[in-house]
Structure 1
Amino acid sequence: MDITQNYFEFLALPVTYQLDLQALSERSRELQKTLHPDRFSHLSDRERRLSVQYTAYLNEAVATLKHPLSRAQYLLKLKGLDTFSESQVQLDPMFLIQQMELRESLEDIASAADPEAELEQLRQTVEQEMKSLREQFDRYYQQSTPSAYEAAAVCVRKMQFIDKLGREIEVLEDQLFDE
């Protein structure tokens, strides 16, 4: 095991956005069995510490690769592009207007005649937008050129907006229907 490897190498998976989640899960279980600290309890402090480090790295790798947005961010990080921190990248004004409209729709749901239907409609809109952005990201990423990676980074920044809106929809749903 080598925690200097990237997550894909560590898990012996192909470096790709369209990751086989079943293979990720299977490989994770295999490594968890091998690396679990209990298996090293009778060994030296150094070996126990390494086991804990490997297990932590494995958990971080799986959590990152499991989710499409964090996987996209990680892939771009491997190419030298940081989409984790705030960026000065200008997003398309039409996209930003769409985001404002979607947020206004979210704010209006609580007072709607049928909030459940409105919430479901908004959720579907957000899911479709995210699906479209994921497909765009994958197309750009596969082109493997610096300009395509930059375009993929713009997709990721848009995905961050959509992901946040999706989480806000879940919060509102909890507030409205789990009382």
Structure 2
Amino acid sequence: MMQFDFSRNHFELFDLTPQFELDGAALESAYRDLQGQVHPDKFANSSEADKRASMQWSTRVNEAYQTLKSPLNRAVYLLQLNGINALSETNTQLAPAFLMQQIEWREAIQDARAGGDLPALQQVEREIAAQTKTWREQLLVQLDQQQDLPTATNTVRQLKFVDKIMSEIDDAYSALDN
């Protein structure tokens, strides 16, 4: 079996520049190429050691791909490469304005759900999607251009909260469908 270096980070694994802005097609292509080399099916008639190594590499390639494919996970990973745990439970500071906005969104979701108001729920979703797009654009600048890791950490934490709110919206849609 060919040798792979487990010490390489996810970006190196796919031969990509470690940055927030990512060429999705290049990631997809590199992922398919690597999976073609390490997929367990390719080693079905190989030694047990090669089968195990293939399984480990296939798992590693999948994890790296899933991390880099998601903008939020990619940002968390970039910060991690710089020694920052953006989602540390000890880091609980968020701007009061953001916390108030989050409360307003959650209340609007609850009201729409309780009232069976699909248009109101869709409006909240559009608002959050627009804010998410803005924060992702800010992350691009913060991580790739300014290397402003503390500010990027805060942006990532806000996006993680919004991710949870989007799950609440999905739950509300399910409740309205029933």
Q: Same fold (TM over 0.5)?
A: yes
Change (3 A) 1:87 1:135: farther
SS at match of 1:12: coil
Residue aligning to 1:167: 167
TM-score between both structures, scaled by the size of structure 2: 0.92
Counterpart CA distance in 1 for 2:45 and 2:146 is 47
More off after superposition, 76-85 vs 148-157: 76-85
Asked whether the 8 Å contact 2:11–2:18 carries over to 1, the reply is yes
CA RMSD of aligned residues (A): 1.4
How many correspondences in the alignment?
Answer: 175
Q: Which of structure 1's runs of 4+ aligned residues deviate more than 4 A?
A: none
Residue ranges of structure 1 left out of the alignment (5+ in a row): none
| Greater relative contact order (Cα < 8 A, sep 6+) | 2
**1:24 touches 1:62 (CA, 8 Å); kept in 2?**
yes
Alpha-carbon shift at residue 144 of structure 1 (Å): 5.1
State the match for 2:80 in structure 1: 77
- Give, in whole Å, the separation in 2 of the partners of 1:168 and 1:64: 23
Letter aligned with residue 134 of structure 2: S
Taking the aligned partners of 1:18 and 1:163, their CA distance within structure 2 comes to 20
Q: Which residue of 1 aligns with 2:124?
A: 122
1:76–1:149 CA contact under 8 A, matched in 2:
yes
Identity of aligned residues (%): 37
What letter corresponds to residue 55 of structure 2 in structure 1? V
8 Å CA contact 1:137–1:155 kept in 2: the answer is yes
CA contact (8 A) 1:76 1:82 kept: yes
Give the CA deviation at 1:41. 2.1
What secondary structure does 2:119 align onto?
A: helix
Unaligned residue ranges in structure 2 (runs of 5+)? none
- Equivalent positions of 1:1-179 (< 5 A) are 1-112=4-115, 115-143=117-145, 145=147, 148-177=148-177, 179=178
Counterpart residue type for residue 58 of structure 1: V
The answer (yes or no) to whether the contact 2:109–2:169 under 8 Å persists in 1 is: yes
Rounded to whole Å, the distance in 1 between the matches of 2:25 and 2:90 is 33
In the alignment, is the contact (CA less than 8 A) between 2:43 and 2:51 conserved in 1?
yes
Residue identity opposite 1:15 in structure 2:
P
Moved more, 152-161 or 26-35: 26-35
**TM-score, length-normalised on structure 1?**
0.92
Measured after TM superposition, the shift of residue 110 of structure 1 is: 2.0
Secondary structure of the corresponding residue to residue 110 of structure 1: helix
1:143 deviates by 3.7
8 Å CA contact 2:113, 2:175 repeated in 1: no
Structure 1 residue 89, shift from structure 2 partner = 4.2
